[in-house]
């Protein structure tokens, strides 16, 4: 289901995110404009009422300055819906802002991490996928640093690597502390002299108290994984999973003790963004089902976002040829037996 018809409002759109409020409304946000990184891009939004099949007309929810806007992330906690998003001319210097939807109104956009050190505001909070609430009440945001060049030193293989981490809030989003960066063995996984590479854009789940896991986009041809056993403070070295990755976004959600993963099963770095597929795991990601293709024709179908829908199914959005955002709903007849 298209949320809007292609080319209805802008030339390009990308990086959708979705969330469901307690009243059943599903909200979807994305960035749209002339093209990615263009100064006219803004954060757009639409919503779907319960038991309806038509989305409301898209509207701009925020445009704070004449710099590019990127990667909104929606997150519901209690009666509030948070939206995190990036603003900046490039991914190297973008800054994370947030807004809160409460009592049918959005708050003013504010910088997520306020500090006198500008660099400490970069790449904070969720970079593309949703935060999760851990069993101890902490919020854990999947994040990464996409600085590709260290401008304070000569360019070298050590200076051009993408890095992933988790941002931790112990006070419901008021303050944030970065975890250590996840180690990525660049020599082992084909990081050649003078090239950038690494792991970015994690997606998270908690399997039991304190045991947290992430799947990661990579430049090495596979989805990578890392695990933490102390609520996301420290992480093991990233290791490849069985699934290929085309250096494009992925997302995972835990639903009734199963994991559901949406991704492009393509192994080439910057490879085709088709097909777009769904797989599930019943053993915490050790083994996965054969992929079910949601899109498999020619085109570009990418950057999926996935959530549970009121405990009864799954909601998925993704970029459709950068011309529209598509929405898929999967409902299970028996929510206790989803496979």
Percent of the chain with pLDDT over 70: 92
141 pLDDT exceeds 90? yes
Q: What is the pLDDT, as a whole number, of residue 338?
A: 60
pLDDT digits (tens, 9 = 90+) for 241-268: 999 999 999 999 999 999 999 999 999 9
Q: pLDDT digit string (tens) for 219-235?
A: 999 999 999 999 999 99
Q: What is the Cα–Cα distance from 166 to 283, expressed in whole angstroms?
A: 23
Quote the pLDDT of residue 151.
Answer: 44
8 A C-beta contact, residue 201 and residue 223: no
Rounded mean pLDDT, 54-71: 97
- What strands lie across the sheet with 324-331, from one edge to the other? 301-309, 313-320, 324-331
Are 94 and 166 in contact by the 8 Å Cβ rule? The answer is no
**The predicted structure's pLDDT at residue 160:** 59
Give 92's pLDDT tier (boundaries 50, 70, 90): confident
Q: Which two tokens stand for residue 108?
A: 């003013």
Can you give the pLDDT at residue 170? 98
Could you give the domains of the chain? 1-124 (2.120.10.10)
Q: Flag whether pLDDT at 194 surpasses 60.
A: no
* pLDDT band, very low/low/confident/very high, at 154 (cuts 50, 70, 90): very low
Q: Which range has the worst mean pLDDT, 28-37, 180-189, 262-271, 278-287?
A: 180-189
Helix (H, G, I), strand (E, B) or coil at 295: strand
Asked if 124 and 118 touch (Cβ cutoff 8 Å), the reply is no
Of 279, 229, 231, 239, nearest to 259 by C-alpha is 279
Mean pLDDT throughout 233-241? 97
The sign of the dihedral angle between the CA atoms of 146, 151, 155, 156 is negative
Residue carrying structure tokens 């502390």: 177
332 confidence band (pLDDT: 50, 70, 90): confident
What pTM was estimated for this model as a whole?
Answer: 0.94
Q: Is the pLDDT of residue 159 over 70?
A: no
More confident site: 53 or 215: 215
Summarize the confidence of residues 145-161 as an average pLDDT. 58
**pLDDT at position 157, please?**
47
Q: Is the pLDDT of residue 155 over 60?
A: no
Q: Is residue 218 predicted with pLDDT exceeding 70?
A: yes
How confident is the model over 269-298, as a mean pLDDT?
97
The one-character DSSP state at 198 is: B
Over 50: is that where the pLDDT of 59 sits?
A: yes
Confidence of residue 146 (pLDDT cuts 50, 70, 90): confident
Name the β-bridge partners of 33: 12
258: CB partners within 8 A, 6+ apart = 280, 281, 282, 338, 339
- Cβ–Cβ under 8 Å, residues 292 and 279: yes
Beta-carbon count within 10 A of 210 CB: 16
Q: How many CB atoms lie within 10 A of CB 87?
A: 21
Q: Which of 37-41, 86-90, 161-165, 295-299 has the lowest mean pLDDT?
A: 161-165
Q: Is the pLDDT of residue 24 over 50?
A: yes
> Residue 7 above 80 pLDDT?
no
Residues in the chain, total:
339
């Amino acid at each position: 289901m298209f949320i809007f018809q292609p080319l209805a409002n802008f030339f390009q759109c990308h990086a959708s995110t979705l969330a469901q409020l307690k009243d059943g409304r599903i909200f979807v946000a994305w960035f749209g404009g002339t093209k990615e990184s263009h100064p006219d891009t803004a954060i757009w939004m639409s919503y779907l009422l319960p038991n309806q099949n038509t989305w409301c007309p898209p509207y701009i929810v925020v445009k704070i300055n004449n710099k590019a806007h990127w990667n909104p992330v929606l997150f519901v906690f209690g009666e509030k819906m948070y939206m995190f998003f990036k603003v900046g001319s490039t991914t190297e210097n973008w800054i994370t802002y947030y807004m809160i939807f409460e009592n049918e109104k959005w708050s003013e956009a504010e910088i997520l991490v306020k500090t006198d050190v500008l660099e400490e505001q970069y790449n904070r909070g969720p970079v593309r996928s949703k935060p999760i609430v851990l069993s101890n009440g902490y919020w854990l945001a999947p994040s990464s640093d996409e600085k590709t060049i260290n401008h304070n030193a000569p360019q070298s293989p050590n200076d051009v690597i993408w890095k992933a981490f988790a941002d931790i809030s112990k006070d419901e989003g008021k303050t944030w502390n970065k975890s250590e960066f996840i180690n990525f063995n660049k020599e082992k996984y084909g990081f050649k002299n003078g090239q950038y590479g690494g792991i970015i854009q994690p997606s998270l789940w908690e399997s039991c108290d304190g045991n947290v896991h992430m799947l990661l986009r990579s430049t090495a041809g596979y989805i990578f994984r890392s695990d933490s056993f102390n609520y996301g403070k420290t992480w093991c070295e990233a290791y490849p999973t069985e699934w290929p990755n085309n250096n494009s976004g992925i997302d995972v959600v835990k639903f009734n003790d199963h994991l559901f993963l949406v991704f492009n099963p393509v192994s080439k770095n910057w490879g085709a963004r088709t097909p777009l597929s769904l797989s599930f795991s019943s053993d915490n990601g050790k083994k996965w089902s054969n992929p079910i293709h949601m899109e498999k024709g020619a085109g570009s179908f990418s950057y999926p976002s996935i959530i549970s829908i009121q405990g009864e199914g799954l909601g998925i959005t993704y970029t459709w040829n950068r011309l529209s955002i598509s929405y898929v709903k999967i409902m299970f007849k028996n929510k206790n037996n989803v496979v």
